[in-house]
Structure 1
């Protein structure tokens, strides 16, 4: 691969020392604001959030760290965590880091086979499992492996058990272990989603994370979002995912307060109780917020008012990008729409939300403009596990909706001759665990990390992701088609849950579509249609006609040769439970194409 061009870089901020490890991040916060609130824990009753001071949290970290030493954990030992997002997860992370250990995340939805691969490949000595069922899933490995010594269940007082093992361990031993940890020390091994094969273990160092959190928090364009005691975020994404893990450390450094909830099932009530000022989520969450607001408006006049308000928000946001800005008439329309529509949506997101960070997939310009128009700026970014989460991101004052922003401070992005996005910076991982061949293949000769994603840089250095190299479809006519744009646009329809565009070696592009069972009843009622099951809706002419119109709108973004000509509605959805979605909500494309080969053949009449 020749030298990459074009290229875009953003200079790093501040001065980083080798001693700035993740334990340093916590000790720095402790020295600055010991009595400040660092977390708010959800109470078991009433849905309230109870403040935890920095001093209290640091004391708990030390107590658990002493317990890990008492259990025989040495620097470099792996400690696996299989749980939903929780305060206990963050506590274990920082306790493990404080003794030089390496926490290894396992998604709570992982199968026995997936968990076994991560535990055996990483050679974990201890597993913390949230529930008795999760513990039972991995406990048999104690007999089958030499390295796994015990499984501790969080629901069965695992934290207290660990603390009990450290009562005779002096706190100075934790301090010594923390001081011996440097930016070059291994911080975690995070296993990739495995959409194209067995997951690879990404080795991220303390320096990878420290580089990101210091540069992000100190960036004058981003500090207003995350820095200070008045900033708050509620974490509901899995802490097994690098995106949430980065935000966890960022908040500890930036001075923000953070809360944990296990998932998004009760998100509206949780947001109302916590009242975050910023939020991170995947695009599907923003789609759900929009589609739910549309559905709740009902039919008739109320829905017409909502859709008028949505159109005003999008028009207003687009006008912000013009030299003259929004007209007086448009400002008046937006003020009216705010009273009639926007305030209700913002109230459903806690009432204080000013910013949201979107990652994990393309957001789409329509949603970006809608949320900015109602007064919630969605900062779309781009990254991978291998870069510790962000490598480009839009920031206040540096926003171009439809792009994933300019390079993050201290990072460089380039485009290779074949269109792949390449990355350099101190945030790039050091190796795939125990896999030197894959590590070597992941870098160019001159040290750029090859992401596998396709993209373009505009004249201002903002990145736009256009697809993934391995997902490019080549039709029988030789047309190269990136499916991501079509899939993302179609997923914005309230009826649609997932989309897989197909057409490799076929005469035209087709699509498999799954229906959103949660949104279906409201959509039917709003369109004066009788209740239906998903199976019934998949063949109903009126539902199919609505999907056909959605496909036509999605096709407006591409050429005729790239457009979807026919589609097939499936009667099942793609989920983590049935194995078609990764824990980070990415479709396992190869598995879908293999298992639904007959349905794909039906699209093409073969």
Structure 2
């Protein structure tokens, strides 16, 4: 790809030079798919950047972005970077008070908003003298600055000073601050992570090389929030390698958009794969004779085939032929359900249940798990299509160094590691060792073949009253291998043993109840049925049978309602907020540790 870029501005503009006439962004407008080329995006970014300059936004100023995913989000991001300013993304799901805190803490001078947040932004602006401009991504009139007004200002300035835009984006250096990313914050105020152009650009270039993406020109579907570093960095990666990026209409339309777009790649979090898997299992089990028996046979064949392939073992002629038949009868339909052209899925943010990973691999839909943090821009390690081991997060990528402390904590060093936390000097000292390694707060190890294995978050480790340590994420990942389990959170800190809060897959339980002749009126009555309780108990025992006795879950509470982002129980990337969940269900948890409570209860 020629000379490697040193800034995000160089990264974007070098991609424009290579792919100017190629399709870049695809999105739905008025019910129809439309697209922009690299050249058209570059022109729009130039107009927005010069419009910001005409407003008086200067190098180093903070500009926030508060919007759901849409092409304009990324255009605003690139425009802010082009003039040397620093962007401050805000989650669409963050509370009003958190947004105000972020805008005040970062000293933002302007904010891009979608129509859904314009009134809230104006209200906050009235209390923050430093916030001068609210820029609407739609035309809604005064008192906000409309995006087309900004574009008009940019065009006028370009006519007056045609060389200004290029001189501005070229003035950025690798050490310049590019963005302040505020973590969603499960407790306390959000914390701003400062990432430089070098942090993000180095990570993109290293990841592109690691995944051998040069010349691939993926067609990617995107739906994860750009406010999160995972999807934002992947967007830069796609841009750098000339991919076409299609925007899902919403998280609820991903399944439909997969079929419409026929992507070759998609990034996701485990929760989405769990939902896809659950729907597939539900439909397969609902089929009549003999399709149901064929489906179950195919799952068994696929699991055995994938396990051997993953371990690099000889598969054998019989199993190979069985897999070919299973693929023709069952797994081919899985690929068609996700568009028919998927080459790879990339998963991050939380552990993926091995059962799901094996069966997707059997279906020709490999899920490459990776690992990273906001503070590492984000990639630290990632499996590849030629080096993929289920249960790990892959080898360490090029340009990143990892060290494992005596207590198992993973330390990271490299150009990808953040500049620090904004306005948090004490926390910056705690975040780094005296010799400059970043403390990730994650526990793990590197196996004999150089694959990184994550055990858990250091702060999430459960220490029983007997002094034994239990890794809840590992337990949760195993339990979620059961098709009857939708969500699970393991608890038990300072208790005698581990317990679990389980949200069962109600639809699959309905099918099971119908098959077994179990009568019920509603989901609440269903999960209280003794035979359903016995089923969940057997499932937990089955998938945790290889654990040490002290690690096993001794008691389970079945919950009728799912954990959600709206209730504050999940982060925007669908990871459980343990402190929130444990507080909300404290009475249920206390009940689990009463001696008279049975091993599984429904609440």
Partner of 2:191: 200
Equivalent-residue separation in structure 2 for 1:532 and 1:116 (angstroms): 46
Question: Against the structure 1 CA distance between its residues 314 and 15, is the aligned structure 2 distance closer, same or farther, given a 3 Å change threshold?
Answer: farther
Equivalent-residue separation in structure 2 for 1:372 and 1:98 (angstroms): 41
Partner of 2:601: none
Partner of 1:355: 344
| Aligned partner (choices 20, 40, 57) of residue 56 of structure 1 | 40
Q: Secondary structure at the match of 2:189?
A: coil
| Aligned partner (choices 1, 4, 7) of residue 21 of structure 1 | 7
Does the 8 Å CA contact 2:484/2:508 hold for their aligned counterparts? Answer: yes
Partner of 2:150: 162
1:195 CA drift (Å): 2.4
Does the 8 Å CA contact 2:344/2:385 hold for their aligned counterparts? Answer: no
Partner of 1:4: none
Does the 8 Å CA contact 1:420/1:452 hold for their aligned counterparts? Answer: yes
Partner of 2:224: 237
Does the 8 Å CA contact 2:354/2:477 hold for their aligned counterparts? Answer: no
1:275 CA drift (Å): 1.0
TM normalised by structure 1 equals 0.92
Alignment partner of 1:423 is 2:406: no
Equivalent-residue separation in structure 1 for 2:419 and 2:131 (angstroms): 25
| Aligned partner (choices 169, 174, 178) of residue 183 of structure 1 | 174
Mapping for residues 87-106 of structure 1, pairs under 5 Å: 87-106=71-90
Q: Secondary structure at the match of 1:404?
A: coil
Partner of 1:8: none
Partner of 1:114: 98
Equivalent-residue separation in structure 1 for 2:34 and 2:344 (angstroms): 23
Equivalent-residue separation in structure 2 for 1:505 and 1:86 (angstroms): 45
Larger mean CA deviation between 420-429 and 566-575 belongs to: 566-575
Give the CA RMSD over aligned residues.
2.1
Question: Against the structure 1 CA distance between its residues 389 and 173, is the aligned structure 2 distance closer, same or farther, given a 3 Å change threshold?
Answer: same
Partner of 1:128: 112
| Aligned partner (choices 239, 248, 251) of residue 238 of structure 2 | 251
Mapping for residues 7-406 of structure 1, pairs under 5 Å: 16=4, 20-46=6-32, 49-132=33-116, 134-156=117-139, 158-170=146-158, 171-219=162-210, 222-223=211-212, 226-228=213-215, 230-297=217-284, 298-301=286-289, 302-321=291-310, 325-406=314-395
CA offsets, 1:446-483, max 9 Å, x none?
Answer: 11110111001112221100111111111121111111
Equivalent-residue separation in structure 1 for 2:128 and 2:590 (angstroms): 45
Partner of 1:490: 479
Equivalent-residue separation in structure 1 for 2:209 and 2:43 (angstroms): 27
Equivalent-residue separation in structure 2 for 1:592 and 1:345 (angstroms): 34
Q: Secondary structure at the match of 1:146?
A: coil
Question: Against the structure 1 CA distance between its residues 72 and 539, is the aligned structure 2 distance closer, same or farther, given a 3 Å change threshold?
Answer: same
Question: Against the structure 1 CA distance between its residues 321 and 257, is the aligned structure 2 distance closer, same or farther, given a 3 Å change threshold?
Answer: same
Q: Secondary structure at the match of 1:380?
A: strand
Equivalent-residue separation in structure 1 for 2:93 and 2:554 (angstroms): 36
Does the 8 Å CA contact 1:295/1:526 hold for their aligned counterparts? Answer: no
Does the 8 Å CA contact 1:299/1:527 hold for their aligned counterparts? Answer: no
Q: Secondary structure at the match of 2:345?
A: strand
Does the 8 Å CA contact 2:442/2:457 hold for their aligned counterparts? Answer: yes
Equivalent-residue separation in structure 1 for 2:572 and 2:543 (angstroms): 26
Does the 8 Å CA contact 2:63/2:80 hold for their aligned counterparts? Answer: yes
1:523 CA drift (Å): 5.7
Equivalent-residue separation in structure 1 for 2:109 and 2:515 (angstroms): 55
Question: Against the structure 1 CA distance between its residues 527 and 62, is the aligned structure 2 distance closer, same or farther, given a 3 Å change threshold?
Answer: farther
Q: Secondary structure at the match of 2:163?
A: helix
Question: Against the structure 1 CA distance between its residues 178 and 422, is the aligned structure 2 distance closer, same or farther, given a 3 Å change threshold?
Answer: same
1:207 CA drift (Å): 0.9
Q: Secondary structure at the match of 2:198?
A: helix
Structure 1: which 5+ residue stretches go unaligned? 1-12
Does the 8 Å CA contact 2:354/2:478 hold for their aligned counterparts? Answer: no
Question: Against the structure 1 CA distance between its residues 199 and 83, is the aligned structure 2 distance closer, same or farther, given a 3 Å change threshold?
Answer: same
Give 4+ residue runs of structure 1 displaced > 6 Å after superposition. Answer: none
1:42 CA drift (Å): 2.1
Partner of 1:5: none
Does the 8 Å CA contact 1:371/1:378 hold for their aligned counterparts? Answer: yes
1:322 CA drift (Å): 5.3
Question: Against the structure 1 CA distance between its residues 246 and 531, is the aligned structure 2 distance closer, same or farther, given a 3 Å change threshold?
Answer: farther
TM normalised by structure 2 equals 0.93
Equivalent-residue separation in structure 2 for 1:453 and 1:484 (angstroms): 11
Equivalent-residue separation in structure 1 for 2:457 and 2:151 (angstroms): 46
Q: Which structure's relative contact order is higher, taking Cα pairs within 8 Å and 6+ residues apart?
A: 1
Equivalent-residue separation in structure 1 for 2:41 and 2:124 (angstroms): 32
Does the 8 Å CA contact 1:139/1:150 hold for their aligned counterparts? Answer: no
| Aligned partner (choices 423, 427, 446) of residue 457 of structure 1 | 446
Does the 8 Å CA contact 2:249/2:257 hold for their aligned counterparts? Answer: no
Equivalent-residue separation in structure 1 for 2:130 and 2:269 (angstroms): 36
Equivalent-residue separation in structure 1 for 2:190 and 2:516 (angstroms): 44
1:217 CA drift (Å): 1.7
1:518 CA drift (Å): 6.5
Mapping for residues 535-546 of structure 1, pairs under 5 Å: 535-546=524-535
Equivalent-residue separation in structure 1 for 2:55 and 2:515 (angstroms): 59
1:353 CA drift (Å): 0.2
